Structure 1
């Protein structure tokens, strides 16, 4: 099969990374004949995507964070649907960000355009809102799952679902160069590096960085040689830089995956916002403390719906609290300082995390066929089946 056109939609940095790897894999599998259109960020742009509009407009989270931007979001949904119907691609692939991608897919479905609709990253129906499985089955033609236990939730609703593995295993998170990082930034043998990751959304940075700052201030009295490295992304870099300007200890701001993974290799511990980065830290074998805060009203609504004990996927898959999680009212400098200090001072505690995450890395697909290649093969197969007029998927 030659020359398929894929309309890809990513709404946040983690989806941009997934989309970029998917694009690279699809180019390899088609000999470069595949064409891409849609919405993405800087990584997808590097693979050849010219975004319909800046992906940053979609990087929103939480009910009250979303409301002020709702009119523009509705306008962008309609613009995206109109472009899909104009181009008539061989498939539309929404990458996570269901607040946007699901609404686009629903409108394309209603238009009876006959375009295969695929979603990459299954919604966590095992954690909350189990009815979403039926909702997705009514709209999509195929679903790509990143966790091995997810397909049955959707297949029982009649939606073909393929486990492709978690693309984070392709990130290179475990291949950083500690010596290079320390040399580049003039770190001495005595400097103890702490990686601080406040998230990739503006709201996350605003809520978490002040808490993280006070946490580290509490540790400086007993850990005088601490140096902080803060990996960030373009969408929030300026805001992070302003926040770091007043910190009372040395900080290093880096951007881009190679620098981030070098920082992981050089660091002893990490303090991170909950999210995909927690898996990157696991793959890098970097012991961490995970923290998160949301608007209290948003959290009150979520807590009525959540059905799992943990937010960190490492803890979920192990069914135990390996990586400390301090969320919402527990996301306090005093609590965070205790947990981070324990990892800094106790080599056995650090090693326990390292040993535990190795098992999870295997479950996520590390060491097998790259997840992006598996995902690309499924998408191309769905397109071929659609062209042949056959139903279902692999």
Structure 2
């Protein structure tokens, strides 16, 4: 079986890896083509070419995206199915182009657009161009009544949970994008000076040879290239908004979410996104009428308040919230997504 894959984001490629493992177990004969991380095969474009963040950072990649969409659409004529993962700005345009030139091909969309946050007009686009809709949060049933809840990929990827043992470590996760790192590292360094425990800085492995250039002086920190290991071995974490916050919530590590971007981008996003929270665990808990899972700080930070959150955190309370969150999400998604391809 030949499957055309569009996985242009780092997280999408991590999820794809688990799908391929399940697929290999179930079938044994498979081939993927398209856009994905080069470590997973031979893509026509390495997904790392699209590794950008922010409204203005995307502009230089527009021509690459157009050329790639046209090429993928042509390739759809010679495959059995199409698998799109997340990245709606790219993948919905791709789905439309594919259906224009190859209307009979089946398109599976895994990790659907977050229409519960913004751009509800995408519901119509998804319904028009997508054959099978695979969503990863139970509350999304409200928007995709004919879709399938396949589970959440993080329950495939996280098998260990925080115990009660004192670790004497605090983790700092400034994100994976250079803009996120630049904005949060000065705050993290200031916090680190006031915390009398081991400080662990989580750095994506792609930056191993560029630490000083990107992060500056990090002598205050122990360096870790594994997010889950860092979280499992820490008593508390300061985390940039993103998937890592949901990982921490599932593992059961007390944390606060922190996010800072250019003010113009923040104001644009604020005008478009109509949510009370940014963190996924908070969004899920609010939908379930369970209150707030963790604190969030956006754009401005009070060092004393952030230190207070660390000193007053309640591990047992977070562990109970984590158990409830895992009950809500139920199971991992890779096996169910693999089945959709047959």
Query: Does the pair score TM above 0.5?
Result: yes
Shift of 1:314: 1.1
Unaligned runs of 5+ in 1: 180-188, 381-394
2:276 corresponds to: 309
User: Does structure 2 retain, via aligned residues, the 8 Å contact 1:175–1:261?
Assistant: no
Q: How does 1:177-256 map to 2 (within 5 A)?
A: 192-217=168-193, 219=194, 223-224=195-196, 226-247=197-218, 249=220, 251-255=221-225
- Find out whether 1:133 has 2:103 as its counterpart: no
User: Does structure 2 retain, via aligned residues, the 8 Å contact 1:22–1:373?
Assistant: yes
C-alpha distance after superposition, 1:246-269 (max 9, x if no partner): 1352x22222xxx43222221111
Distance 1:235 1:248 in 2: 19
Distance 1:363 1:192 in 2: 30
- Find out whether 1:288 has 2:255 as its counterpart: yes
User: Does structure 1 retain, via aligned residues, the 8 Å contact 2:112–2:133?
Assistant: yes
Shift of 1:372: 0.6
Q: How does 1:21-36 map to 2 (within 5 A)?
A: 21-30=18-27, 32-36=28-32
1:371 corresponds to: 333
SS of aligned partner of 1:376: helix
SS of aligned partner of 1:304: helix
Distance 1:205 1:237 in 2: 14
1:262 corresponds to: 229
Shift of 1:125: 1.2
- Find out whether 1:146 has 2:136 as its counterpart: yes
Distance 1:74 1:235 in 2: 26
1:386 corresponds to: none
Larger radius of gyration: 1
Q: How does 1:46-65 map to 2 (within 5 A)?
A: 48-65=40-57
RMSD (Å) for aligned C-alpha atoms: 2.4
SS of aligned partner of 1:154: coil
1:174 corresponds to: 160
* Change in 2 beyond 3 A, CA 1:276/1:142: same
Q: How many residues are matched?
A: 338
User: Does structure 1 retain, via aligned residues, the 8 Å contact 2:237–2:253?
Assistant: yes
Distance 1:338 1:363 in 2: 31
SS of aligned partner of 1:51: coil
Unaligned runs of 5+ in 2: none
Distance 1:78 1:235 in 2: 29
Counterpart pick for 2:16 among 13, 16, 19: 19
Q: TM-score w.r.t. structure 2 length?
A: 0.90
User: Does structure 2 retain, via aligned residues, the 8 Å contact 1:279–1:313?
Assistant: yes
User: Does structure 2 retain, via aligned residues, the 8 Å contact 1:199–1:272?
Assistant: yes
2:113 corresponds to: 123
2:82 corresponds to: 92
Shift of 1:322: 2.5
C-alpha distance after superposition, 1:309-330 (max 9, x if no partner): 11111111222332111112x3
